[in-house]
């Protein structure tokens, strides 16, 4: 049988009628396992060069899946990253032997992006040292395999903080810079990737290159938010700031629309340092507002707090009692809200993390709460990223999909301040085309609660959410891996083909993170 070879990233010939699967790109999205051709020669070359390759089942088995827990793959071998020079040796050999290399930090991808379907898995957590902290320039130079909580630990000793990091702190710095990273201060400080000043990158052909906005700017543009396609980030220089505890305020809404309007009001007017929405279903919508300084907090209270339509905790509880008293058939939902409130709220108010009424420090509080109350064996978090004006509609449509597929779920909405000088970084990324000023993202996260769902059920749910994105001209945070069929649908062939041409030039054998985007 003649099975035509399809070049990675391209759409192969398809003899089924052109009107089949309308709107769906004829692309394999669950990758075929690499056949292992050339593996022994590759390993021999690496060992001669002093690079250790672990091939035991136990060494490989721990990387069988990612945080999503639905994609499974098994690398032929694992290399723990030790230095840029070692990574360069690995990539040069991989290029010569055409062996796929999958880079992995915290493994917090959800669509199998950090799962190796054969080939070598490069475990970046071996490069996790903080190299220098420059208080004068307010920068830190760190190896990129470090987890954010590891970096926070080092910075706190100096009374310092990074600008922004994902709420889930076991993601690595390198991985985050490669995809974006959204924090509750992103509406003010931009996505986590935007705090990178300079990077040391090992290109897919094994050159070690320093890049920044002024040096090798084109590589810098491609690597930031580049989903690991144009190089392995081995070191990063990040902006830092003095550490401050937070004063937190919570406002409660019963409709998504009002909460989102208020969130955008705060963002537009730079009225808060931190802002985001976290919900229990669509019934209890919490607008979180926080401040680094008493001055900013006072200005908010004087100018903006009265304009918010949310309630305080007590007022909202009364509203809920009235709401469910009129709808006794929804008692189950009311009980769930109560149970969830009792479990989650204390986590954000634990006395050991509060001093003088201020949260100290959010890194621990948020990360701990995220894992404990939102984490499960399956992190299935489809999302939509839109321009500010389309955001309410996107969230409401996505919310309707959540209601259809799962009993309980949560939504997490946050704004992302865009840097005008980083427009090139945002190309073909989670930042939606046409976004100016701010982009907004919403994650739709079902509560798994010990249930077991098939991958197909999750996939149908994700497809339903992502179809909204296609319809609305949005983008996604997680469009790689199993969801890469949406890339051409949302970005169009011209842009994707341009990036594919750049990828081919940078990575002739298409070995680095090959099934993630292309």
Distance of closest approach, residue 393 Cβ to another protein, in angstroms: 23
* Number of alpha helices (DSSP H) and beta strands (DSSP E) in the chain: 17, 17
Contacts of 509 (CB under 8 A, 6+ apart): 94, 95, 98, 204
CA angle centred on 443, ends 442 and 448, rounded to 5°: 155
Cβ-based nearer residue to another protein, 32 or 335: 32
Distance of closest approach, residue 73 Cβ to another protein, in angstroms: 5
Distance of closest approach, residue 12 Cβ to another protein, in angstroms: 5
Task: Please answer whether residues 384 and 412 qualify as being in contact, where contact means their C-beta atoms are separated by less than 8 angstroms.
Answer: no
Distance of closest approach, residue 255 Cβ to another protein, in angstroms: 26
Distance of closest approach, residue 118 Cβ to another protein, in angstroms: 9
Task: Please answer whether residues 381 and 444 qualify as being in contact, where contact means their C-beta atoms are separated by less than 8 angstroms.
Answer: yes
Cβ-based nearer residue to another protein, 36 or 41: 36
Distance of closest approach, residue 498 Cβ to another protein, in angstroms: 23
Task: Please answer whether residues 516 and 228 qualify as being in contact, where contact means their C-beta atoms are separated by less than 8 angstroms.
Answer: yes
Q: Is the dihedral of CA 325, 328, 333, 338 positive or negative?
A: positive
The residues of the shown chain that bind another protein, judged by CB under 8 A, are 1-4, 6, 11-17, 19-24, 26-30, 32-33, 57, 60-61, 64-65, 70-74, 117, 377, 407, 451-457, 460, 482, 485
| Nearest partner of 84 among 124, 33, 137, judged by Cα | 124
Concatenated DSSP letters of 436-497: -SEEEEEEEEE--TT----HHHHHHHHHHHHHHHHHHT-B-S--SGGGGGGHHHHH-HHHHH
Distance of closest approach, residue 54 Cβ to another protein, in angstroms: 14
Cβ-based nearer residue to another protein, 251 or 518: 518
| Nearest partner of 124 among 73, 177, 71, judged by Cα | 177
Distance of closest approach, residue 363 Cβ to another protein, in angstroms: 30
Cβ-based nearer residue to another protein, 5 or 136: 5
Cβ-based nearer residue to another protein, 61 or 434: 61
Concatenated DSSP letters of 359-427: ES-HHHHHHHHIIIII--S-----EEEEEGGGHHHHHHHHHHHHHHH-SSEEEEEEEEEPPGGGHHHHT
Distance of closest approach, residue 20 Cβ to another protein, in angstroms: 5
Rounded-to-integer distance, Cα 410 and Cα 371, Å: 14
Q: Is the link from the previous residue into 167 a cis peptide, with omega within 30 of 0?
A: no
Task: Please answer whether residues 227 and 271 qualify as being in contact, where contact means their C-beta atoms are separated by less than 8 angstroms.
Answer: no
Cβ-based nearer residue to another protein, 4 or 50: 4
Rounded-to-integer distance, Cα 90 and Cα 124, Å: 13
| Nearest partner of 246 among 151, 353, 157, 347, judged by Cα | 353
Distance of closest approach, residue 407 Cβ to another protein, in angstroms: 8
Distance of closest approach, residue 512 Cβ to another protein, in angstroms: 20
Cβ-based nearer residue to another protein, 457 or 504: 457
Cβ-based nearer residue to another protein, 92 or 514: 514
Cβ-based nearer residue to another protein, 149 or 455: 455
CA 364 from centre of chain: 18
Concatenated DSSP letters of 342-359: HHHGGGGG-GGGEETTEE
Cβ-based nearer residue to another protein, 6 or 424: 6
Cβ-based nearer residue to another protein, 196 or 482: 482
Q: Which pair of tokens denotes residue 509?
A: 């054998």
């Amino acid at each position: 049988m003649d099975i035509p070879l399809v070049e990675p990233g391209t759409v192969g010939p398809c003899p089924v009628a052109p009107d089949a699967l309308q709107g769906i790109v004829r692309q394999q999205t669950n990758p075929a396992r690499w056949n292992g051709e050339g593996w022994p020669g590759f390993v021999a070359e690496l060992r001669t060069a002093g690079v250790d390759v672990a091939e035991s089942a136990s060494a490989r088995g721990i990387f069988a899946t990612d945080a999503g827990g639905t994609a499974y793959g098994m690398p032929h071998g694992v290399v723990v990253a030790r230095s840029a020079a070692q990574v360069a040796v690995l990539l040069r050999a991989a290029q010569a032997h055409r062996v796929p290399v999958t880079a992995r930090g915290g493994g917090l991808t959800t669509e199998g992006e950090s799962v190796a379907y054969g080939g070598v898995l490069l475990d970046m957590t071996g490069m996790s040292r903080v190299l220098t902290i420059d208080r004068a320039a307010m920068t830190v130079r760190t190896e990129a395999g470090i987890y954010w909580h590891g970096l926070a630990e080092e910075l706190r000793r100096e009374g310092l903080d990074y600008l922004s990091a994902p709420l889930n702190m076991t993601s690595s710095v390198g991985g985050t810079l490669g995809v974006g990273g959204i924090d509750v201060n992103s509406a003010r400080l931009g996505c986590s990737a935007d705090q990178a000043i300079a990077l040391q990158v090992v290109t897919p052909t094994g050159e070690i290159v320093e890049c920044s906005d002024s040096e090798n700017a084109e590589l810098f543009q491609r690597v930031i938010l580049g989903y690991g396609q144009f190089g392995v980030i081995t070191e990063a220089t990040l902006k830092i700031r003095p550490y401050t505890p937070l004063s937190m305020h919570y406002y409660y809404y019963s409709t998504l629309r009002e909460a989102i309007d208020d969130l955008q009001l705060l963002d537009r007017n730079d009225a808060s340092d931190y802002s985001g929405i976290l919900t229990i279903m669509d019934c209890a919508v919490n607008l979180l507002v926080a401040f680094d300084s008493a001055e900013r907090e006072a200005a908010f209270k004087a100018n903006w707090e009265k304009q918010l339509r949310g309630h305080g905790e007590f007022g909202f509880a009364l509203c809920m009692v009235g709401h469910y008293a009129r709808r006794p058939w929804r008692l189950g939902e009311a009980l769930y809200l109560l149970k969830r409130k009792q479990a989650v709220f204390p986590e954000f108010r634990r006395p050991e993390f509060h001093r003088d009424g201020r949260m100290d420090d959010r890194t621990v509080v948020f990360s701990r709460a995220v894992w404990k109350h939102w984490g499960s064996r399956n992190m299935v978090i489809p999302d939509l990223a839109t321009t500010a004006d389309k955001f309410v509609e996107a969230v409401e449509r996505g919310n309707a999909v959540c209601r259809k597929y799962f009993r309980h779920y949560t939504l997490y909405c946050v704004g992302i301040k865009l840097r005008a000088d980083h427009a090139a970084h945002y190309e073909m990324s989670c930042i939606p085309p046409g976004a100016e000023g701010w982009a907004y993202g919403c994650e739709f996260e079902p509560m798994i609660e010990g249930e077991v769902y098939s991958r197909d059920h999750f996939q149908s749910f994700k497809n339903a959410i992502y179809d909204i994105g296609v319809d609305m001209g949005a983008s996604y945070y997680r469009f790689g891996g199993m969801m890469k069929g949406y890339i051409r649908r949302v970005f169009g062939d011209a842009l994707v083909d341009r990036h594919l041409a750049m990828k081919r030039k940078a990575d002739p054998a298409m070995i680095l993170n090959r099934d993630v985007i292309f």
